[in-house]
Structure 1
Amino acid sequence: MTTDERNFRSSYYEKVGCFSVEEVKSLNKLLQDDIRNVTKLKHFVHNYTVPALQRHLLWCLIMGIMPLHKSNTEYVREQRRQVYEDLLRAVTVMRCLDSSDSCKSKEIVLHKMWMLENNRLHSNVRADDNQFIEIVRALLQIFDDDVDTYWMAKEFYQYTRELKKECAKLKELTQALLKREDKELFDRLDKLGLFGESSELLDNWYTTCFAGVICETVLVKIWDKICGGDKKIVVFLFVELVKNIRSLIRDKNSLDEVKAAVEKVKDLDGLIVNKAIKSWQSNNGELKYAH
């Protein structure tokens, strides 16, 4: 079967809530091995759609939250839970949370725990803190286990720190791809200053991996690829996103207006995300960082 055939069939099965029997069997075998192979797990998320039921464990293994040795799983899970509960108890006893109900949302609690763990509890809030909160908020919509969600948020945040270091190169890739895909749209965004050194709008979207922009239930498919080490996929998501609203962007006169338009696109049906993944699969080998 060719790659195009496999991608088409995978996309169709996913839309109707089914997955290839071979893919499910392959993933189940990888997860049931006594010593899980992280390279093969990353290969799976790179090449296939991750079934929702296996995503929690798959991410925990790839991120190093759960051990690859299956026999150690329960012990490590208990240690993670104890750390979580100690941090939660500490921020509660120390009255670190704002007294207003609006500031007691779960993502704020987890953020305070994270700051305590990093000896920054009494530091001023930075832009990076807001990015962590956006990531936590998205993950809380995807996973039910608050303990694992906290650990995944910490690890995913570290992924975004690596991504942040590459923002300049990612912006170069964005310009190259957008010029090729839609030169008129590129010119409009360039004229508004999106790619200028003083603009951090694209950097912010990339370093939060579009948390808070795209609906979490479909955004998670992009995050699967990021967990597998494929950071460039954020470029393809952005390009498909702005192409989707190109007629709106044409009438915008500032980056603030572009930001507002982009962040209204939740992609509830996943069409933009699916197009981005297909484009990434087709072009990933061709699109290189500029030197």
Structure 2
Amino acid sequence: MKRDNKLVGADERNFRSSYYEKVGFRSVEEKRSLEIILKEKPLDRLRLRHFALRFSVPASLKNLVWKLLFGVVPVHLDSYDFVMQQRKQQYEDLKHGLGILGITFDESTKPNFFVVLWLLDSGKLKLDWRCQMEEERYKSLTHISNSVMNMFESDVDIYWLSRGIFQYVDKFRGDISKLVQFTKSILEKEDNELYSFLLHIDAFTVLPINNWMQSCFANVITESSVGKIWDKLAAGSCKILVFVAVVLLMTLRRRILKCNTVAEVLECVNRISDEVADVIVSKAIEMWQQNGSSLASTNGLEFTKSPASTVWL
């Protein structure tokens, strides 16, 4: 019996997808789908956002995709080179401005440089900028720029991508206390024993959950893993951070439950290997998807617009 060609084609695609997933090459077809989106003229930023919410952006395309989602470059990619020339000039002007102010950095303090550059650009730089950089919020941003530095090579790209994340963190900073409370609520639901233990020893008063949110887990989880979380941030979801925090604690539960003091708990959560970080991120994304990772607002914590929604429309 002759089979419908369309059905045969669908079967072949399903078989191919299943095969890729079993042998660890699921990303092959995902990358092809992303490349198709990136060829559209003009590019559909909403489709790109949906892709980043559903899948991890391949490392080779992360630079471009983040630039598009954070509004660094426009959806008309024919203008990419021209816009990046302008971005480079803006970067050089800001750098020159810091020089005029007598503010200099060496290689060891370069992560601070990108934060101070953003503060100058946004009109938030104080006269006593050294004291300003000691504030917890700016220490967190320094961790972010340090992670971005480890992902990309160009200082211009590092600045503009760091800037995109900085500005997005600023958008949900006022909701961080809600994100922390949301973290506790989900942990109580998912692992009541662990939650009760942490509550009993008063660990929630010292666990750095607030800092995890402000730094988006930079300096907590390695760049190879945290980049997958930042794909979701670039697409407009800050709620993903809640599930990373919950899964981080649940993944370390055996070690945590053996702790006798809060200090031991802190030491436990501050020692996360690359292998454990990868497990945490994978499980966190899975839990986030199961709990509703749609673009709609959830408890007022999920932004309905992407970070780039007001730039280069």
Q: Which of 51-60 and 69-78 deviates more?
A: 69-78
Q: 1:57 to 1:240 in 2, by over 3 A?
A: same
Moved more, 138-147 or 258-267: 258-267
Kindly state the Cα deviation for residue 213 of structure 1 after the two structures are TM-superposed: 0.3
Is 1:138–1:212's contact at 8 Å kept on the other side of the alignment? yes
Corresponding position of 1:289: 299
Aligned counterpart, 1:184: 193
- Note the C-alpha offset of 1:113: 2.0
Q: TM-score, normalised on structure 1?
A: 0.85
1:120 correspondence with 2:108: no
Contact 2:229 2:240 in 1 (8 A): yes
| 1:271 counterpart = 2:282 | no
- What per-residue deviation string (whole Å, max 9, x for no partner) do you get for residues 160-200 of structure 1? 1223222232223212221222111101222343545xx67
- What residue number does 2:145 align with? 136
8 A contact 2:207–2:266 mirrored in 1? no
Aligned to 1:242: 249
Give CA-to-partner distance per residue, 1:15-72, whole Å, 9 cap, x none.
x466232x22221121122211111110000111211111110000011001111222
Call closer, same or farther: CA 1:8–1:84 in 2, change over 3 Å.
farther
Partners in 1 of 2:117 and 2:150 — Cα distance? 19
Describe the superposition over 1:137-174 as per-residue Cα deviations: whole angstroms up to 9, x where unpaired.
Answer: 11111112210110111110121122322223222321
Tell me the C-alpha RMSD between the 2 structures: 3.0
Match of 2:225 among 208, 218, 235: 218
Aligned counterpart in structure 1 of residue 163 of structure 2, from 154, 168, 171: 154
Q: Distance in 1 between matches of 2:143 and 2:17?
A: 31
Shift of 1:248: 2.2
Identity of aligned residues (%): 30
Give secondary structure in 1 for the equivalent of 2:64. Answer: helix
1:190-246 deviation digits (Å, cap 9, x = unpaired)? 2343545xx672111111111100011111101101111121111111111111211
Report Cα offsets for 1:81-114 as digits up to 9, x if no partner: 011112223334543136xx6x743212223322
Structure 1 residue runs of 5 or longer lacking an equivalent are: none
Counterpart selection for 1:90 from 93, 97, 103: 97
Q: C-alpha separation between the residues in 2 aligned to 1:78 and 1:250? A: 54
Q: 1:268 to 1:142 in 2, by over 3 A?
A: farther
Higher mean C-alpha deviation, range 150-159 or range 266-275: 266-275
CA contact (8 A) 1:215 1:267 kept: yes
Q: Which secondary structure state, in structure 2, belongs to the residue aligned with residue 177 of structure 1?
A: helix
Say whether 1:280 aligns with 2:288.
yes
2:67 aligns to what?
A: 60
The separation in 1 between residues aligned to 2:272 and 2:21, in whole angstroms, is 21
Residues 183 and 27 of structure 1: is their aligned pair in 2 closer, same or farther, counting only changes over 3 Å?
Answer: same
**Residues 173 and 290, structure 1, Cα contact 8 Å, conserved in 2:** no
Which structure is richer in relative contact order (CA contacts within 8 A, separation 6 or more)? Answer: 2
What is the aligned partner in structure 2 of residue 19 from structure 1?
27
Larger Rg belongs to: 2
Q: Distance in 2 between matches of 1:110 and 1:253?
A: 40
Runs (4 or more) in structure 1 with deviation over 4 Å come to 5-13, 253-256, 285-288
